[in-house]
Structure 1
Amino acid sequence: MFIWDETLTFEQFRRRFQTEDDCVAALYRFRWPDGFRCPRCGHSQAYTIATRRLPLFECRHCRKQTSLIAGTIMEGSRTPLRLWFQAIFLHCRPEEINATQLASILGVTYKTAWLMCHKLRHAMSQRDAALLLAGKVHIVNAIHRRQFTLEWHQQEHPVLIGASVDEDGQFSYLKIKIQPKFIHHHKLKQPEIEPFLLQHVDKKAQFTVFPVSKGSDAKHKLRKMGWLAECWLARLFRGIGRKHLQVYLNHFCYMRNLPAFTRFSRLLNDCAGFPTITYPKLTGSTAAARSRRLHRNATVSSPFAS
């Protein structure tokens, strides 16, 4: 099993996972840590079909064939596993990475790198959705600002920042969630707390919601996390629009909720354990919309168009 070392360089990592076989063996262990299990019947024995780029496993009981990447974030991808492993590694480094940088390092197109980044964030978001804030919980409302200004801007969004707090007052788990935007007299109204509690906080938790007017160290610590998220988005991505903002905030929280030495294993495990998301779903495009765009482009480019 791969052991994470914060001093490990990218070149050392690439040598460790140099071939597809290296990555296949590691992904197999993460996907089936207790040995193969057929997704249809649960049988534990399978024939290996190694004539494809990635192996297929044929259940000896029901004969169902299962790809190594079926049901994972990598399902349907033609990108080599070694590049996926490199992308996971680079996302787990303290300096992290954006799609433009990833495309340059991996030698892939920007579209491929962008899709890989979003699929990794999808795995992070699925893991976040499966975990609730528990124990002692602090919650505060804040404004996510795309621009650092005192005036209201249409790209600003209300958020609720919540965290599980340990006995020493440190955050053990953090969530930052966008809330519905309501404008009243050109001001953003405070978000309702009940939906956040129902969706993100354990029913047995003891929670404290800090009012806007009351200042405290705990409240300022939570708001500082929101400010750090804004700085991270501005530095690494030059700001993010509303459409994908939540998954980027999930990304920020995911990395800060994990000790550095567990990040690679945790993210690879989540990539192996959660299903993928497709490009059309990410972009909101449909077959009909693509057909209209193609028809429009063909009409515009036609030499007979008026």
Structure 2
Amino acid sequence: MTYEAFCSSFETEEDCMQALFKVKWPDGFRCPICSNTNCYVTSTRRLPLYECARCRTQTSLISDTIFRGSRTPLRSWFRAIFLHTQWRGINALQLSEKINVSYKTAWLICHKIRFAMSQSDAENLLSGIVRVSDAILYRRIIPPRNFLEFEQPVFVGSMEDEHGEITRFKIRVSPRSLRKDRHSSPDASSFIQQVVVPTSIPGTIVTKRHGKEVNRELRWVCRDAERWMASKFRGVGLKHLQVYLDHYCYIDSRQEDSSIFIDLLRDCVRRVGINYPKLTGTLNRRSSRPVRQKHAAIALVG
């Protein structure tokens, strides 16, 4: 589906609200507290408010989702999600121009969507025939003395079908402390415990990024992920590198799936999301001195 065709399918806020309702409550409204199916609807707001007829709990379409607290129209959110399902992806600057929002808003939307991708990807473990190897991102052919500041070690794992084709893979950033020198390979046991189902762990095939038994397919996966980040985002820093790698793995494993938009929308609905202070690391700086002054003023008044 083209972007223009998608926009025509979700042209109004009402179209988006109906789709969001079906994804959030596929069997009809259900109270998040008591699971009651009867509710009263307040439709005078920008988004409807649903009040449980039994326990009086109020909820909305965007509560407990990545859209929570957002003033951005659902149409813009839907378009952003669709653009993130495209193989080439989209960066924050392009998104801000595409859906007509500020760069800061677009940047936050991108990271909230990637957060949902990352959480979903973490839940889908590798099984069956699993192969694991270490690799390096931002590899330097002639490394400088401080190569550890540039090159980033990672682990990559894949699962194969009965024909030997890779159906899913995962890439995880490896702690630099596990790597003693440029030619060493870190221990992959922790990575295997995190990404492989317990029944497939004993049969996991572990190789290294160098040597006679190097897995060239896994090494190519990392090279392709590196090229993808370089072409679309002009490179990614270590702070957010993992979520970009999760984004790459999420899209690649579903690029032939026609329902990828609904899958991603469902993942966005099932997760609360992440806020701007936590993303930027400004939560503590914001809440330090002003909060103490506020509490002090309250104490004086009391």
- The TM-score with structure 1 as length reference comes to 0.88
Equivalent residue, structure 2, for 1:92: 85
1:84-233 matches, within 5 Å, as 84-145=77-138, 149-151=141-143, 152=147, 154-182=149-177, 187=182, 189-205=184-200, 206-211=203-208, 212-215=210-213, 219-233=215-229
Q: Could you say what secondary structure the match of 1:204 adopts?
A: helix
- The TM-score with structure 2 as length reference comes to 0.89
Tell me the percent identity. 46
1:1-306 matches, within 5 Å, as 8-145=1-138, 149-151=141-143, 152=147, 154-182=149-177, 187=182, 189-205=184-200, 206-211=203-208, 212-215=210-213, 219-258=215-254, 259-289=256-286
Equivalent residue, structure 1, for 2:297: none
Note closer, same or farther for the CA distance 1:143–1:59 as it changes in structure 2 (3 Å cut). same
Give 1:273 shift: 1.0
Counterpart contact for 1:183–1:189, Cα < 8 Å: no
Q: Could you say what secondary structure the match of 2:211 adopts?
A: coil
Give 1:199 shift: 1.2
Kindly report the root-mean-square deviation, in angstroms, between the aligned alpha carbons of the 2 structures: 1.8
Give 1:9 shift: 2.1
Q: Which runs of 5+ in 2 are unaligned?
A: 291-302
Give 1:191 shift: 1.9
One-letter code aligned to 1:231? R
Q: Could you say what secondary structure the match of 1:57 adopts?
A: strand
Give 1:155 shift: 2.7
Counterpart contact for 2:154–2:171, Cα < 8 Å: yes
Give 1:92 shift: 1.3
Q: Could you say what secondary structure the match of 2:198 adopts?
A: coil
Aligned length: 283
Instruction: State the distance in 2 between where 1:252 and 1:59 align.
Output: 40
Give 1:232 shift: 0.1
